[in-house]
Every structure is written in C-alpha cells, then in structure tokens.
Amino acid sequence: MRDVSRSWASRPLGEVIAITKGRKPPRLVADSSRNAMPYATTSLFRSGTATQFVPSEDLPSCVVTPIGCPVLIWDGSNAGEVFVGKDAVLASTMALIKPDESVVDPGFCYLFLKTAFDELNGGTTGSTIPHVSKLTLTALQMPALPLDEQRLISGLLFKMEEAIAIQVTFATTAQELKRAAMRELFTRGLRGEAQKDTEIGLVPESWELASIGSHHSVVSGGTPSRGNPAYWTGGAIPWVKTTEVDYCVINETGEHITPLGLESSAAKMLPKGTLLMAMYGQGVTRGKVAILGIEAACNQACAAITPKDDTVLPRYLYHFLTSRYDKIRSLAHGGQQQNLNLEIVRDLSVAHPQTADEQHEIATILDALDRKIALHRQKRAVLEELFQSLLHKLMTGAIRVADLDLSALPPASATA
C-alpha cells in the first residue's frame, strides 16, 4: 500500500501529525453520572458501548480524543489498528493521531492509516509487549493531495463503511428475529394448541418427543493418516472438518482425501442431506450443525446423523438442533477438554409435530430467515471487498474519486 502513484507528491506522515499517547486515568467508575466521560478502550471502539467512565474532576490529567481524529492501538498484538475518535478519554494502550487540519483532513488521515496496518503491525518494537514503532509511523509516505480531494475521498469511503455497518445491523436483526421465531415455533407450534410440559420444556400438546437415535443413525467419521501422501495427494473426496460445520449447507470442503484414504481409515462416505454436528471444540464450534449439500466424508469430531425413517424431516431437525445449541453444549463432559460423543448425540431429545406438513411449514419459515441472514452477509462481503479495492486505488492514485459515481450509497458521517 505504500506504492503511491508517481504523479502524486507525497510527504512523511510525521510532518503533518502530532502523536499523543493515552494515559491511565486516576479513577474509573461504572456509570456516566456527574458528567463522567467514556473511557476509550478497544472494546468501546469495537462495540460502540462504554462500560467504564472517568469522573469529570479527573479529566485534566487525561488525554481526551476529539471526535473524528484517528486513534491508533499502540500496544499489543493488534498494534497499528486504527479507529475514528470518539468524545472520550483515551486508554494508555492507544495513541491520538492529531493531523494538521490546514493540510490534512482527519478522515483522510484515518483512511490512510487503515492501509498501513500490515506495515505498522509487522514493524512493532518491544520484546514482551509489542509497540508501534514511532519511526515507522512517522516515516509513512502520505499522498499530498489538496484538502478538497482528501475530503471527497474520505466522504466516499465513509459512505462505504456506513453501508457495510447497515448490512451488519440488518444481519444481526435477522438473527435476533430467527432466535425469537425458533423460541415461538418450537414451544407453541403453528396451530395454537395447548402446551404440555416435557423434559425439554413446554411444547405443543400433540407433538411427540423422541431421541435422535430413535429415528436416526448416528456415526462419526475418521482422519486418514497425515503421514501417508497416498491418502491425501490428488484426493477428490470432500472431507469435512468441524470448523466447516457452521450453520450452513456444505457444498465444498477445504480438504479432500483419496479412495485409499477412505478405505484405510474410519472415514465413510455420507449421502447428501446428512446432518453433521460438531462434537469437539472449546470455543463456539461444539454443538453447531450443518447439512451436507454433497456426498462427503468427515473427521472423527463430527457426528453424522441420517434418518432411518420419515418421522422427522432433516431440515426440521437442523433448525430444532440449532435452537438447542446452548443446551447441547452444556451436555459435554471430559477432563481438560469437554466434548460431546455419539452416545450423547443419540440421546438428545427432539420434539416434533406428528405431521410432515407442519414440520415442513416450520422449516420453511426458518429457511426464509436463513436466506435473509445470508443475503445481508453476502452484501456485507461484497461491500467490504469493494471498500478495500477503492481504498487501495484511491490512496495510490490508480483512480480519482471524481471519476466514480456511487450516488446510490447512503449519506454517511465520519463520526458515525
């Protein structure tokens, strides 16, 4: 990103900015009463929500960030990451980057620093805790553009960032709507009937309760030896890892095995439509489900669930198990690493309508919400790719902002 167009003049960033490290305030309080100011940590910038505040009487000894000025993570593994400043007290692990606004637009400075993350993060100093190198930072070559062009660039790219944030909000709202819909559908159904109390809570009175093993076969997969290239090299059989089991239809996999690898391990071919559940994972992986959109094998950390009869529709079961994620995770056991196992999965209770029609209706409603979530995630991904492309091309002079027509983008503010 440092390859600025030769047609543009540049200048060292250090010539046009002042750097002020944050300082730890004398006190932090949990509420914003008495005109206390938010304490600006990375958590505040990422979430937008303040959890700590600095009393007004302590402000003279602190560094207060002006709205819109770039703020840089100075210490730690994310050193070099930049945020748009808020009206807040700056944490000691961060630094205020104050540009000379007679020659540099603060928004343009922020966006320029976004392009410099790899250079700043890769050039940190300090043996225990990495720090941004002041020498590296001040030596960065910033395009010396007229202020009006800087403002055009920052205005355009802030619109892009706001459009991305809108898609994040839409996807989050759709996810919350799906969670609410699952709670309603799996406790009340679609027919407005009376409820009964069961071992998994309230369900419609006519519904049945049965273990997964009553109507499904549950097996695990296997991993061919990594030490034998004949099991992997040139393989064409899709092989699923638990990290790929993430509330989705799996149509491709990151790794493939050979027929010999399949025959020489516990891995087995699973038909399209098989439901997979991740049995291992201390983070968020354990308990997640996915559906195979292709024939594939899986590793031993996945439970492969296939129907033995037509009692429970696969898509219905997928959504029901999704709704039970937290409960399923809590059933794991073991020593240092708690996991599920095939016996636990087989014993999981499933409440379901007796008719395939009602199961299909419930699955159809939740499928529609999944499509909505996926659409907003896809839009976000496209916008993020476009943002990165525009950021690079505008900062290097490959294109000029006056040549672009993005009038369909919503208005945005650098301080949003």
pLDDT in tens, 32-79: 777 789 999 888 888 888 889 999 888 999 999 989 999 999 999 999
14 and 132: one domain? yes
| Rounded distance between C-alpha atoms, residue 102 and residue 40, angstroms | 27
List strand residue ranges (DSSP E) for 31-124, in order: 37-40, 53-54, 64-65, 70-73, 82-84, 88-90, 94-99
pLDDT at 1 over 50: no
Percent of the chain past pLDDT 90, that is, above it, reads 80
Residue 242 inside a domain? The answer is: yes
CA distances from 263 to 147, 239, 254, 271, 276 (A): 67, 13, 20, 17, 21
264, amino acid identity: S
- As for how many domains the chain has, the answer is 2
Structure tokens at 172: 């989050």
> Does residue 167 form part of some domain?
no
Q: pLDDT by residue (tens digit) across 315-356? A: 999 999 999 999 999 998 876 678 999 999 999 999 999 999
Residue 197 belongs to some domain of the structure: no
**pTM for this one?**
0.81
Residue 329 φ/ψ, nearest 5 degrees: -60, -35
Identify the band that residue 3 occupies on the pLDDT scale cut at 50, 70 and 90. Answer: low
- 230 with 120, same domain? no
3-state SS, one letter per residue, for 24-72: CCCCCECCCCCCCEEEECHHHHHHCCCCCEECHHHHHHCCEECCCCEEE
Given this model, what pLDDT does residue 32 score? 77
**Is 23 inside a domain boundary?**
yes
Same domain, 44 and 135: yes
With cut-offs at 50, 70 and 90, classify the pLDDT of residue 184: very high
d(CA 320, CA 148): 55
User: What six digits make up the tokens of 123?
Assistant: 């050039």
pLDDT for 213 equals: 97
* Whether residues 128 and 228 fall in one domain: no
Please check whether residue 391 lies inside any domain of the structure: no
Instruction: Indicate the pLDDT class of residue 413, thresholds 50, 70 and 90.
Output: very low
CB proximity list for 355: less than 8 A, separation 6 or greater: none
Within-domain flag for 406 = no
Q: Which domain holds residue 232?
A: 220-309+317-339
In whole angstroms, give the CA distance from residue 161 to residue 131.
27
pLDDT in tens, 238-256: 999 999 999 999 999 999 9
Residue 271 belongs to a domain with what CATH number? 3.90.220.20
Name the domain boundary from 144, 168, 195. 144
For the segment 261-270, the average pLDDT, to the nearest whole number, is 96
At position 195, the amino acid (one-letter code) is Q
Q: Can you give the pLDDT at residue 396?
A: 83
How far is it, in rounded angstroms, from Cα 156 to Cα 32? 34
Where residue 7 falls among pLDDT bands split at 50, 70, 90?
Answer: low
Evaluate whether residue 240 is within a structural domain. yes
Domain boundary (144, 163, 187) is at 144
Tell whether 139 and 224 lie within a shared domain.
Answer: no
Task: For residue 270, give the DSSP letter.
Answer: B
How close are the terminal C-alpha atoms of the chain, in Å?
A: 26
**Residue positions counted in the chain:** 416
**Cα 407 from chain centre:** 28
> Can you tell me the distance from the alpha carbon of 96 to that of 22, in angstroms, rounded to the nearest whole number?
7
At a CB cut-off of 8 Å and minimum separation 6, what does 283 contact? none
Question: Of 129, 144, 159, which closes a domain?
Answer: 144
Provide the mean pLDDT of the chain: 91
pLDDT digits (tens, 9 = 90+) for 358-381: 999 999 999 999 999 999 999 999
| Same domain for 111 and 17 | yes
| Tens digit of each residue's pLDDT (9 = 90 or more) over 93-117 | 999 999 999 999 999 999 999 999 9
